[in-house]
Structure 1
């Protein structure tokens, strides 16, 4: 998944969608996120967070593997929750926010799925997950564009 946003939003987008996601996501997307809790750590690398959802899934728990505010890099592993069901051991994600040559910012997200046994990954489900992630970043971007002082 790649999403292009204006360059001046790079640091603000990283702050809102990564560093402060436990506050910003439930505020900006209450229909999708009931709450996000830091269960262990301070929110940085090594921390464990739990996302409490609503309708179709109840929760997701993930471990923050790497968080680098200088390179705008965020890697995490989904370790528990409804999205894994009994078919997946874990899912790892690499998220990078990078400046582009035309003055914009691109956010790149790559996921790696670790199936249990001989389960075959359903590409349609992966696509739906990518679309949901893209919608979250677009909602954060829209908020930042409408509120230039937020996360400045």
Structure 2
């Protein structure tokens, strides 16, 4: 129902809904101020729209979204869980291929505004969905994205918003995800669909954690700097040119073989005589200059030692009162039970620490 007015003459419109359209019938009526007030009191604005003369007051119907809440407890600290989630695009298709056939970046550099496409597996009644990254806050372990196109919207949704946050706890952390389904009209996803989607995400996150526990080892690198975070990140952005100059025994050369330097760019490391490997190819996964973070993954080469699927590097420069801290997590994803030795892990950690200190010294002198 709505009441539309022109001066003191009003039109009573009775509205009925069915399917995806609306139809109405109307009868001119005269109402005074008191009747208008009674109409507003009698019909809740959550269900109807009432427009008063001259557009002085408008009360509109609200189509409320529906949502689901997902919580998965972890024994890992929040920063580690968030780093693992940052590699969701690569891990999810491995641990749950029936749901996530592939997740690919089609526009952007991995930061806010990046557009990706989900291609769903055989267990899902949809084929694909496009989403945009809305927010990334690595300091608070939060990540928001929104599906805006694809049959995953089921023809009844304008969008699906995902709000993700990892919350530290005494024993580890809790992965929390709120999924908000923004409906076009009165039609909403069924309870069965909501339940199924919740179970899918819970199952996938638990599988990802199990995958990481079983198939990976990692090292943590921290190098404090007297320079502010933005300057350190800017210097790191020139790593390809500076590293072979300051540590040629390790980094003989770093060359781009595909791409323009953004997300998806493929580069090749050619190692020097101090390293027992010849080369390795890696792909740029994420660049977020606003939060001083950069992720890349080795996927090919003898640096994988024949026992690794990939090596993920998560880099972040954290501001401090006296300057900043360069932090790097290196995750070695194993094919099977064989893992890099403690000696190899220790040597790689020392190499990166030495190189970053040398890069800072180079920048000071130049």
- Compute the TM-score of the two structures, normalised by the length of structure 2: 0.39
- Helix, strand or coil at the partner of 2:201: helix
Cα distance in 2, alignment partners of residues 144 and 54 from structure 1: 22
Cα distance in 2, alignment partners of residues 120 and 36 from structure 1: 26
Equivalent residue pairs, number: 149
- Consecutive aligned runs of 4 or more in structure 1 exceeding 4 Å deviation: none
Which residue of structure 2 aligns with residue 71 of structure 1?
140
Per-residue CA distance 1:65-106 (angstroms, 9 max, x = gap): 011121110111111122212111111111100111x32210
- Helix, strand or coil at the partner of 1:114: strand
The answer on 1:120 being equivalent to 2:188 is yes
Larger radius of gyration: 2
Which residue of structure 2 aligns with residue 13 of structure 1?
81
Which residue of structure 2 aligns with residue 109 of structure 1?
177
1:6: how far off? Answer: 0.7
- Helix, strand or coil at the partner of 2:100: coil
Which residue of structure 1 aligns with residue 166 of structure 2?
97
CA contact (8 A) 1:13 1:144 kept: no
Q: Structure 1 residue aligned with 2:157, among 66, 88, 94?
A: 88
Q: Structure 2 residue aligned with 1:59, among 125, 128, 140?
A: 128
Which residue of structure 1 aligns with residue 322 of structure 2?
none
Cα distance in 2, alignment partners of residues 2 and 106 from structure 1: 7
Cα distance in 2, alignment partners of residues 70 and 147 from structure 1: 27
Per-residue CA distance 1:30-57 (angstroms, 9 max, x = gap): 2322211101111121111101112232
RMSD: 1.7
- Helix, strand or coil at the partner of 1:89: strand
Q: Structure 2 residue aligned with 1:34, among 89, 96, 101?
A: 101
Q: Structure 1 residue aligned with 2:210, among 117, 142, 146?
A: 142
Cα distance in 2, alignment partners of residues 97 and 128 from structure 1: 22
CA contact (8 A) 2:127 2:152 kept: no
1:5: how far off? Answer: 0.4
- Compute the TM-score of the two structures, normalised by the length of structure 1: 0.88
Cα distance in 2, alignment partners of residues 20 and 42 from structure 1: 14
Which range moves more in the overlay, 142-151 or 48-57? 142-151
- Helix, strand or coil at the partner of 1:51: strand
Say which structure, 1 or 2, has more relative contact order (CA 8 Å, 6+ apart).
Answer: 1
CA contact (8 A) 1:7 1:99 kept: no
CA contact (8 A) 1:12 1:144 kept: no
Cα distance in 2, alignment partners of residues 104 and 82 from structure 1: 37
Unaligned runs of 5+ in 1: none
Cα distance in 2, alignment partners of residues 23 and 120 from structure 1: 31
CA contact (8 A) 2:129 2:151 kept: yes
